Amino acid sequence: MLDYLIIGSGLAGISFSEVALKNNKTILVIDDKSQHSSRVAGGLYNPVILKRFSEVWNAQEHLVLMKEFYDRVEDKLQEKFNFRMPVLRKFFSIEEQNNWFAASDKINLAPFLSTKLITRKFNSIDSPHDYGEVLNTGYVDLALLLDTYKEYLLENNLLREETFDYDAIEFLESGVKYKDIQVKNIIFAEGFGMLKNPFFKYLPLDGTKGELFVIKAPDLNLDVVVNTSVFILPIGDDLFKVGATYNWHDKTDDPTEEGKQELLARIKEIITCDFEIVKHFGGVRPTVADRRPLIGTHEEYKSIHLLNGLGTRGVMLGPAMAQALFDHIEKGMPVDREADIRRFHKRYLKSITSGRPLDRKK
């Protein structure tokens, strides 16, 4: 009997896969390539919400777990994914500078906000009020990570490329049977695809579409991330990833003309040089209104679990939330109340009043 059947091979899925394998558990991953948000994400990690100068939830703890995770995966796969890079917040006024320094005096933000103004000038960026530097930042090349990890799974017969069939689940006294597989636990890590999952679709996953560019700008001599109304991330060879938009209504992965024009307008507010759009991406982020993940075990079916809702900060959250869910299942440790799906217990009760989904217990 397998220990874990993991549904989804995006960032959430591979994070849990790696945590399970590290602990000598047997796994199988099922994925049908229907979700793309991890692949098209910017990959940035940043412990500060720069719009309002506040700390990201549990940032210090998550940064430590994140570094350990990516270091281990890099060593395992013999590939570089995690790139440390400064994030500079461009100031638009003296007032913004003052707000930055006021925030840097706060105990929880002091480790992350430099108190030294960055006066460096970059080609084609006007910055009369200079920059503030966020510490402990960088980016993960998610496309490379996902592709390389998928190759590893395939080479070790740990991945099936097919669509998961919820109707094929049979609950046993000591686990679950799925087609030809008997397994102790199923981990659903489906991203926005969770809305089709009859066990967890009661949860308030409200996907937020994001669109990004890769641009070519030979005259933009930039070796740091610049963050204003969008981020500009250098990825080499005069290429820069730029994003992102936020659309709460469109739930498709298709790039749009509206998103394109919004990004173009924002880029032109920041840089003065010519550039060429090389790629235009779109994807629906698995976001939750309270900006917390969705982690935990189903209230009735104790062999099925959820790892979702990583939102816009999946690079930092994925490893920590995967470890938290693993510890919950294997050691009985409680999930942080802010992330536990039981915070939506009333929604669950309401969802079963009209009939229990897939009631096929044995």
Question: CATH number, domain at 161?
Answer: 3.50.50.60
Pair 219, 129 in one domain? yes
pLDDT at 362: 39
Pair 248, 262 in one domain? yes
d(CA 276, CA 217): 7
Residue 362 lies in a domain: no
**0.85 cut: is pTM over it?**
yes
Pair 16, 98 in one domain? no
3-class SS letters over 200-219: CCCCCECCEEEEEEEEECCC
Residue 303 lies in a domain: yes
Q: 285, 304, 332 — which closes off a domain?
A: 285
Pair 215, 128 in one domain? yes
Residue 309 lies in a domain: yes
Q: b/e string for 324-334 if b means 16 or more Cβ within 10 A?
A: bbbebbeeeee
Q: 254, 285, 316 — which closes off a domain?
A: 285
Residue 65 lies in a domain: no
Residue 56 lies in a domain: no
Pair 193, 239 in one domain? no
Closest CA to 101 of 117, 115, 118, 86: 115
Pair 298, 240 in one domain? no
Q: b/e string for 8-31 if b means 16 or more Cβ within 10 A?
A: bbbbbbbbbbbbbbeeebebbbbb
pLDDT at 352: 84
Query: What CATH number has the domain bearing residue 252?
Result: 3.30.9.10
pLDDT at 354: 61
Please write the tens of the pLDDT for every residue from 167-200. Answer: 999 999 889 999 999 999 999 999 999 999 999 9
Pair 240, 175 in one domain? no
Per-residue tokens: 218: 């030979």
Pair 179, 111 in one domain? no
Residue 222 lies in a domain: yes
Total tally of structural domains belonging to the chain: 2
Pair 29, 94 in one domain? no
Residues in the chain with pLDDT values less than 70: 39, 354-362
Residue 32 lies in a domain: yes
Q: 260, 285, 310 — which closes off a domain?
A: 285
pLDDT at 355: 56
Residue 55 lies in a domain: no
Pair 260, 172 in one domain? no
State which residues form the domain around 10: 2-40+143-204+289-351
Pair 221, 257 in one domain? yes
Pair 132, 242 in one domain? yes
Q: What are phi and psi of 158, to 5 degrees?
A: -110, 10
